[in-house]
Amino acid sequence: MAPPVPYDGFDLMPIAGEWRRGSSGERRADVDPWSGETLVEIPLAAESDLDQAYQAAGDAQREWASRPPAARAQVMLAAAETLRGRREEIVGWLVRESGGTVAKAELECDLVLGGLMEAASVPHRVLGRINPSDIPGKESRIYRVPAGVIAVISPWNFPLQLSNRSLAPALAAGNAVVLKPASDTPISGGLLHAKILDEAGLPPALLSVLVGTGTEIGDAMVRHPVPSVVSFTGSTPVGEGIARQAPLKRLALELGGNGPLIVLADADLDRAVPAAVFGSLFHQGQICMIANRIILEDAIHEEFLERFLERVAALKVGDPSDPETALGPVINHSQLEAIRDKIARSLDGGAEQLLGGDPGGPSGLLLPPHVLLADNEAPVAREEVFGPVATVLRAQDAEEALAIANDTEYGLSSAIFTADVERGVRLAQRLQAGMTHINDSPVNDDPNTAFGGEKASGVGRFGGDWAIEEFTTDHWISVQHEPREYPI
């Protein structure tokens, strides 16, 4: 069978049921971070486009919610089938637009495929209930209904997945969505979703994708009266700003991370070392759940570090379209400078650099992996780095490792390696994090699990039954079957 005709027209965006150009009068070049090539120039959306999208979404949502669950499930299944048929095309966009390696792009496609299949089950899992009543003859029915219109703002690091994990369950539960993808990844973070769902039969205006600046449409997205839920994945400062601007809306926020990976003295280093390399450097470390800090119990510190450095030094760094490449470029020059600044401040403060190098590549964004020895006060340990930097810290014992791990404002993902699984679980229960993985990487690559953090890492949960709770609401309807007497 011949492959499908590749998608085109990415200078247009779906707004209120029509593919058209944004009306702000400004344009933005979508640039390949490896080559520096401009992939497409997109006329950006204005606040007037946003208002039209929200109004049309509200109208379309009511009809969509009234459809039988099977009809909504079928669109999700068709989208999954479309993704399968266009996998190579979509992998190519992820590599070119985000600078991710082929392995990262393929994993991301698998996550989205799993998410679409999960979403196909959502329409039949939105369940009401009957509550008991102490009033004779009264019936209390609790209907679980769609929240309405959902605002989704997604980041650039896993653009296809981090848009889909809100978009797919929200649509499947009977909502409409207005999506703003990150400006660095407008195609893989939004416009590809719209193309796939169009092909899958999603009715017009249920999904609008607006590519625009944060100042032009970002703030207006969350302040607008139409959306009842705001789903955002990104930095903690931006998430805090959303909470201030939309205090009465329901918020699902996954924010920054500073994940600890603890390796105890009894750990199997044959398992811990590869997991630490993957968990700290996959996708150039540009993942919120990344192992920002590798905390080693003293007894295995030297052996672990020797193995770790050997493995990191052997990683191939270069063109992300080469299937053998392990690390590609970081997303943009602003991000590169922020990473290098954290490294420099850490070295000035006494950290020791064991591996590193200067940026290179055609665009100058290829930063080699860095490994630093530091304490928990170094900027690379205290702050979210979001780059190919692994910071190694030493702990005398498990108690000190736990204290170091919790000594951060963040609480997203974490990991513990130990031969004693139940001891690991007991320690995990004392970690201040939304997720802890025993003998596995803190980067959660399982499409059938939920995500979410504590402290400055956000509020709400993404995935599984939590997604249904986030994107639906209870409507209590009581029925008084018998006449009753009232107090007055």
- Which amino acid is residue 100, in one-letter code? G
Q: Which of 288, 297, 383, 470 is catalytic?
A: 288
- Asked about 384 being catalytic, the answer comes back as no
Contact of 115 with 447, CB cutoff 8 Å: yes
Contact of 285 with 439, CB cutoff 8 Å: no
The span from the CA of 4 to the CA of 209, in Å, is 23
Q: Which of 216, 254, 384, 470 is catalytic?
A: 254
Which two tokens mark 425?
Answer: 């679980």
The span from the CA of 385 to the CA of 258, in Å, is 8
Give the rounded distance of the alpha carbon of 246 from its chain centre: 21
φ/ψ (deg, to 5) at 177: -135, 135
- Asked about 485 being catalytic, the answer comes back as no
Helix (H, G, I), strand (E, B) or coil at 122: helix
Contact of 402 with 293, CB cutoff 8 Å: no
φ/ψ (deg, to 5) at 2: -70, 145
The span from the CA of 429 to the CA of 420, in Å, is 15
Question: What residues form DSSP beta bridges with 261?
Answer: 294, 415
Helical axes 69-85 vs 192-200, angle rounded to 10°: 120
Contact of 138 with 478, CB cutoff 8 Å: yes
- Strand residues in 90-211 grouped as ranges (E): 129-131, 138-146, 149-153, 176-180, 207-209
Give just the sign of the alpha carbon dihedral 290, 355, 98, 47.
positive
Give just the sign of the alpha carbon dihedral 408, 414, 420, 423.
positive
Give the rounded distance of the alpha carbon of 173 from its chain centre: 20
* Length of the chain, in residues: 488
Q: Is 348 exposed, middle or buried (0-12, 13-18, 19+ CB in 10 A)?
A: exposed
Mind telling me the catalytic residues? Answer: 254, 288
